[in-house]
Amino acid sequence: MLIAQISDTHISIPGSRNDLQFRTAEHLERAVAHLNALNPQPVLALATGDLVERGRIDEYERLRKLLDPLAMPVYLIPGNHDDRESLAKVFEHHRYLPRDGQFIQYTIEDWPVRLVALDTLIPGESGGRLCAERLRWLNTQLADAPGRPTIVLMHHPPFTTGIRKMDAMGLDGSEALADVIRQHPQVERIVCGHLHRPIVRRFAGTVACTAPATAHQIALDLGEMPRLATVMEPPGCLLHLWLGDSGGLVTHVSLISDRYPPFGVFDGREWLRDARPPARFHPDEATTRP
Ligand SMILES: [Fe+2]
Ligand SMILES: [Fe+2]
C-alpha cells in the first residue's frame, strides 16, 4: 500500500502576492501530475495543512479545482493558514470531514493502514495546539484499534527542528501528545507539514516526520537566522510504503523537480530537461509566514 503525502500547498487567489511570488497553484498542478504519473500509483494522498494562504472561500474553490484531477482520494487537514469553516464548506463532498464539533479530526478505517487525523489549528496564530479535548479524542481513537498499524497526521510537528524561527511557531501540547502516543505502539508514524522541508525525529516510541512543501521550501538555516527565509528548492512529497507487519512503513522523499536543473532525468544518453527556465527567486526577496 502506497500513501502519498503533499503539504503546505498555500493556494491563493490569482494575482495575489503569494500567487505571484511562489506560483503555488502552478506547483500544485505539477504535484498532482507527479502523483498521477507514479508507478505504482499511491492508493490515497494526505494533504497535511496550510492548504490555502488566507482561509478564503475562493482560495478553497481554487484548491478544489486543482485537486480534481488527482487520480486517488485525498484526505485534508487544516494548518495555521486554514479556516475550518471555509474548508468544510467548500469540501462538503469530502464525506469523511466531520459535520459537527469544534475540530476537524477524523479516523479513516478503509485501508490496511488506519489514518487518524488531528487538528492543531489555533485561529489567528502561527503556532499550533493539542488541547486536552483533542488529545482525549486521539486516545479514544487509538484505543479502539490497538492491533491496526496507524498513521497519525497533523500539521504542526511535535518536536523542535533547529530551524529557530519555525520552532518559535511550534506545537503547544507535545509532551501530552507523547504521553498518549507512548500507550499505543501501533502508531507507525506521525506525519506533519508546516516546516516546508523533510525532517525526521524519534518521538514517544514512534517516528515523526515533516514533508517538503509542494511549492516554496523553508531555507535550511540552523544558525541564528535574522528572519525566516523561503527558497525555491525543488519541491517534493513523501511516499509512505506499507510493506506489512514484517516490512513496516518505509518513507521516501519524492522530488517534484525534473524541470529544475541539475535535477533532470538521465535517460542513459543525455539529460532531459524541460525547456522552461526555473522561477527566479532569491531567498531575500521571498519571505513569508510558513
Ligand atoms: Fe504552517
Ligand atoms: Fe506552510
Q: What is the mean pLDDT of residues 92-96?
A: 97
Give the pLDDT band of residue 260 (cuts 50, 70, 90).
very low
CA 197 to ligand 2 center in whole angstroms: 10
CA 50 to ligand 2 center in whole angstroms: 5
Q: What are the phi and psi torsion angles at 283 (to 5°)?
A: -55, -35
pLDDT at residue 287 tops 80: no
CA dihedral sign, ordered 84, 88, 90, 94: positive
d(CA 96, CA 40): 25
* Whole-number Cα distances in Å, 255 to 38, 46, 124, 238: 12, 16, 31, 9
Q: What share of the chain is helix, strand, coil (3-state, %, to 5)?
A: 25, 25, 50
Q: What is the mean pLDDT of residues 227-253?
A: 95
pLDDT at residue 43 tops 60: yes
Instruction: State residue 101's pLDDT score.
Output: 86
CA 39 to ligand 1 center in whole angstroms: 30
Which residue, chain included where needed, has cell 497526521?
Answer: 153
Over the stretch 211-233, which tens digit does the pLDDT of each residue have? Answer: 999 999 999 999 988 888 899 89
Mean pLDDT of the chain: 91
* Whole-number Cα distances in Å, 288 to 17, 64, 117, 219: 10, 23, 26, 11
CA 119 to ligand 2 center in whole angstroms: 15
For residues 128 and 80, the answer to whether their CB atoms sit within 8 Å is yes
pLDDT at residue 263 tops 70: no
CA 173 to ligand 1 center in whole angstroms: 16
pLDDT at residue 286 tops 50: no
d(CA 262, CA 290): 26
pLDDT at residue 290 tops 70: no
pLDDT at residue 282 tops 70: no
Instruction: State residue 63's pLDDT score.
Output: 98
Instruction: State residue 281's pLDDT score.
Output: 40
Instruction: State residue 184's pLDDT score.
Output: 98
Q: What is the mean pLDDT of residues 286-290?
A: 52
Instruction: Select from 120, 80, 81, 114 the least CA-distant residue to 96.
Output: 114
Q: Please tell me the number of the ligand nearest to residue 52's CA.
A: 2
Instruction: Select from 94, 194, 206 the least CA-distant residue to 150.
Output: 206
Q: Please tell me the number of the ligand nearest to residue 196's CA.
A: 2
d(CA 160, CA 53): 23
Q: Which of 162-166, 223-227, 278-282 has the lowest mean pLDDT?
A: 278-282
pLDDT at residue 285 tops 60: no
CA 217 to ligand 1 center in whole angstroms: 12
CA 131 to ligand 1 center in whole angstroms: 18
Q: Please tell me the number of the ligand nearest to residue 154's CA.
A: 1
Q: Is the peptide bond before 40 cis (omega within 30 degrees of 0)?
A: yes
Give the pLDDT band of residue 279 (cuts 50, 70, 90).
very low
Q: What is the mean pLDDT of residues 25-31?
A: 95
Cβ atoms within 10 A of the Cβ of 49, count?
30
CA 247 to ligand 1 center in whole angstroms: 32
Run of H or E including 108 = strand 106-108
Give the pLDDT band of residue 266 (cuts 50, 70, 90).
low
CA 275 to ligand 2 center in whole angstroms: 29
pLDDT at residue 265 tops 60: no
